[in-house]
């Protein structure tokens, strides 16, 4: 599998990683899927302390035991669960990050994290304090590099200007092209990599996804999605499915170092990874695909 450098770091990540939230809560099945991914050339595993109350980190930790050297391990912080309360709150404080990382390390069964990511963020956060926490962890060798997981342009710009992030995890697909408006070019110019999540748009952009369009997707209505899927079929073939075309679209922007589709079965995993062996989209193909979708606008809440 082709590997790309993550920003200015020395981390080389396979262009198709694994979003581990999808592997479920049953350890045997989760470990099996992660091992199959690693055996097929995946090295970027992404999780978060939030997923399944930390259970996902535990499963990832079990899977990488004895294989830590094969993995670029990414997790996230910032969403804080309160004992005895439903849901979670947002806490990007230095104090919380320095304490939360210890729990992630314990669940992951490792003494360092390759990529530690802020799991969200707003313009009203104590951004300098958050950066101080990541920089301290980096100096201590607890993390190797840090990034943010955000779709908010204003937040991304602040971290680009004020921190040493090497990556931004951003929802980016043929159906969610918001980042093309201003984020991707900024990150490309600054040498900061994008890790694209949601490349198949919650399954809408897969061969089996027609049943998923009833609820719409972002500002797309059902009829519009059905028409788009019909047009997208013209870009598929026996060699490249609809979902693989969607994955190659997300990878076709030069700012994107990797995509992290999820997989809850071996068949889904194999299908996603097979996209790595397909030729990249040509510029002509990319532009033609953009003609059948449309640019999205950020809602005011994300500005």
d(CA 184, CA 191): 10
User: What's the 3-state SS for 31-70?
Assistant: HHHHHHHHHCCCCEEECCCCHHHHHHHHHHHHHHCCCHHH
Half-sphere exposure of 252 (CA within 13 A, CB side): 24
Residue pair 202/174 in contact (Cβ under 8 Å)? The answer is no
Annotated active-site residue in 51, 159, 217, 249: 51
Residue pair 231/288 in contact (Cβ under 8 Å)? The answer is no
Rg (CA), the chain: 19
Backbone angles phi, psi at 171, to 5 degrees: -70, 120
Q: What is the three-class DSSP state of 270?
A: helix
The answer to whether 302 is a known catalytic residue is no
Residue 178 corresponds to which tokens in the numbers above? 């918001």
Query: Catalytic amino acids?
Result: 51
């Amino acid at each position: 599998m082709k590997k790309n450098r993550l920003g200015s770091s020395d981390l080389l990540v396979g262009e198709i990683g694994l979003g581990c939230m999808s592997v479920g809560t049953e350890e045997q099945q989760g470990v099996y899927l992660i091992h199959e991914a690693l055996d097929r050339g995946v090295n970027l595993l992404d999780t978060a302390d939030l997923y399944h109350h930390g259970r996902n980190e535990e499963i990832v930790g079990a899977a990488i035991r004895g294989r830590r050297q094969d993995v670029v391990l990414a997790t996230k912080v910032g969403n804080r669960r309160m004992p005895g309360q439903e849901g979670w709150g947002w806490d990007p404080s230095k104090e919380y990050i320095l304490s939360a990382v210890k729990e992630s390390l314990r669940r992951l069964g490792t003494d360092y994290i390759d990529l530690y990511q802020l799991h969200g963020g707003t313009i009203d956060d104590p951004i300098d304090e958050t950066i101080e926490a990541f920089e301290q962890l980096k100096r201590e060798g607890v993390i190797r590099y840090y990034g943010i997981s955000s779709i908010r342009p204003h937040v991304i710009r602040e971290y680009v200007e004020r921190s040493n992030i090497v990556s931004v995890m951003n929802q980016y697909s043929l159906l969610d092209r918001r980042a093309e408006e201003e984020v991707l070019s900024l990150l490309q110019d600054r040498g900061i990599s994008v890790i694209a999540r949601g490349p198949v748009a919650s399954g809408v952009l897969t061969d089996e996804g027609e049943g998923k369009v009833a609820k719409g997707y972002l500002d797309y209505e059902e009829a519009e999605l059905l028409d788009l899927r019909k047009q997208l079929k013209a870009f598929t073939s026996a060699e490249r499915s609809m979902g693989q075309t969607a994955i190659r679209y997300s990878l076709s922007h030069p700012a994107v170092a990797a995509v992290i589709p999820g997989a809850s079965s071996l068949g889904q995993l194999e299908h996603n990874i097979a996209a790595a062996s397909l030729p990249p989209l040509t510029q002509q193909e990319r532009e033609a695909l953009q003609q059948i979708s449309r640019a999205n606008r950020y809602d005011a809440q994300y500005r």
